[in-house]
Amino acid sequence: MKKKVLLILLLLPLLSGCWDELYFKDLQIVTLVGIGGEKGDVTVHYSFPSVSGGNGVEYLTAKASGSSFSDARNNMNLKTGKVLDISQLQVLLLSDKSAEANIFDYLDSLYRTPRNRLSSHVALVKGELDAYMGNGKNENSGKTQDTPEFLTQLMDTIKEYSLSTDYNVQDMGSIMFAQGQDLALPLLKMSEESGQPELDGTALFNDFTYTGKSLDITESKMLNILQHNTGKFLRDTYIFEVQGREVPVTYEFIRSRKNWDIGETSITIRETIHVEIDEYSVTPVIGKGEFAELEKKLSAAIENDMQKTVESMQEAKSDAIGIGRRVRAFHHNLWEKGDWHDTFSELDIQVKVKVKVERTGILD
């Protein structure tokens, strides 16, 4: 009996609960955050779900300003009935104007607070942040449209279909401090037709700042292939002249193999890309000669787009591929020539592509 009592007394300190316990009823879970303004005068926008009556889930919005992200969040808690909690954050938006300065000045506290979620999607947005947060005015003024939910689905689609880069908060932090690679983030704009956000391309960074230049959708797909960081699907369509008429040819990316030849003044990027033909309305069954011609045309078209992608990055002095990492590791003389961004922009970089068609459909 005495042993049991002693054991219970020894176990009692272990039953004291969690030191950092927070009650859900005291928190307001935030799923969408937008950061704008400038260093020393930061405005943070919040959007969070709220259940009311029989109307289901409504999204409310609120915003506050401060000298930093943390200061703005503290000021926000002065205006809300519950403490805003971003541990379940789905999407983080950054204003393109704010990103023209050092973006880490806005993000520092995200990496220092253990409760913050580092797997959230990140995107740059054109225009005013209010438009991306929904139609509501603030926490006490009614509901918004479901823009926060739509943004989460949009970012998932961008990732799955390789429409732009897919970096979460943790990935972004790693790349920002990496030597030899620059950040590239999805760039969103508001659609005039639907009134909802849509993808406009991929924003290119130089170290911690947005260059003001971006890749279009096709170039963004090429960047994913060059990075060997594609999602579940990657499809694109070209128009080729076949048998005297223009024919749409749609391919689906399967896999690729790269080989970089790095010299003192030039770099050759060789990509062998395996694809499947999804659309080719010339004939149900592709003959051997036509098959080889199709591979040749696809090789030339993709090579041209990849070359344009590299040239766009060189113009922006943004090495989003990460060539600098290989140069720093194995070609130190080239790395030591000067600032890598300047060296990268001046190099003669040529892209060579060979396409291999593996599948052409069930009719073949």
Overall pTM surpassing 0.85 (yes/no)? yes
Q: What is the pLDDT of residue 335?
A: 95
Domains of the chain by start residue, with CATH: 17-215 (no CATH), 216-364 (3.30.300.210)
* Cα separation, 201 vs 293, whole angstroms: 31
Sheet holding 32-38, edge to edge: 57-66, 41-51, 32-38, 91-95, 121-125, 184-190, 197-206, 209-215
The set of residues, in sequence order, having a beta carbon less than 8 Å from that of 331 and lying 6+ positions away, is 262
Q: What is the reported pLDDT for 138? A: 39
Short-list 133, 83, 129, 77, CA closest to 106: 129
**Per-residue pLDDT in tens (0 to 9) along the chain, 364 residues:** 677 777 777 776 666 666 556 655 667 888 899 999 998 899 999 988 877 665 667 788 889 999 999 899 889 888 777 788 888 899 999 999 999 999 999 998 889 888 888 899 999 999 999 889 874 443 433 444 577 888 999 999 999 999 999 999 999 999 999 899 999 999 999 988 888 899 999 999 999 999 999 999 999 999 999 999 999 999 999 999 888 889 899 999 999 999 999 998 999 999 999 999 998 877 766 767 778 889 999 999 999 999 999 999 999 999 999 999 999 999 999 999 999 999 999 999 999 999 999 887 665 5
Predicted confidence at residue 56, as pLDDT, reads 67
Would you call 25 helix, strand, or coil by DSSP?
Answer: helix
pLDDT at 71: 92
Q: What is the pLDDT of residue 29?
A: 84
Cα→Cα distances 138→30, 111, 330, Å = 14, 27, 54
Q: What is the pLDDT of residue 54?
A: 59
Using one digit for the tens of pLDDT, what is the confidence trace for 87-140? 889 999 999 999 999 999 999 888 988 888 889 999 999 999 988 987 444 343
